[in-house]
A = this chain, B = another copy of it.
């Protein structure tokens, strides 16, 4: 748990029990939960935490580039504590979001920038389908 506090400090964030709880909840799952899901998870050990605090904390983390907000479904945002470049796969039934790594080395950013006139700063690749659990039904 010591390391987490260090990471927050390095990013200039004040260390609080709530922030440590949110960050460790994000780190200890591979399904990139929503704010509500994080909140429900934390309620066990931290019954006085507020949902608004979870949102505010996630927003702080986002500003500090400590987490990324994922727009993989229309109902809510999901959050990912792994900010390195990777992709996601989403189950259209249970809504869970998993990491994958796929080769996208042939994307020609210069060409896209030329054609669109944009200056590209980010990219997401997301696959949708049925997870192995949900296929069994």
State the A residues within 8 Å of B (CB): 69, 71-74, 77, 89, 91-92, 98, 100, 102-108, 111-113, 115-132, 135
Contacts and interface: CB of A to CB of B under 8 A. Distances in A.
Given A74-B71, A112-B89, A127-B112, A107 B98 contact: no
Given A74-B77, A112-B89, A130 B118 contact: yes
Contacts of A125: 123-126
Number of copies: 2
- Grouping DSSP codes into helix (H, G, I), strand (E, B) and loop, the A interface class, with mixed when no group exceeds half, is mixed
A72 B71 contact: yes
A119 B128 contact: no
B112 A108 contact: no
Contact of A103 (B89, B106, B123): B106
Nearest to A74: B77
Contacts of A102: 107-108, 111-112
8 contacts: A71-B73, A113-B129, A119-B135, A121-B129, A122-B129, A123-B128, A124-B124, A124-B125
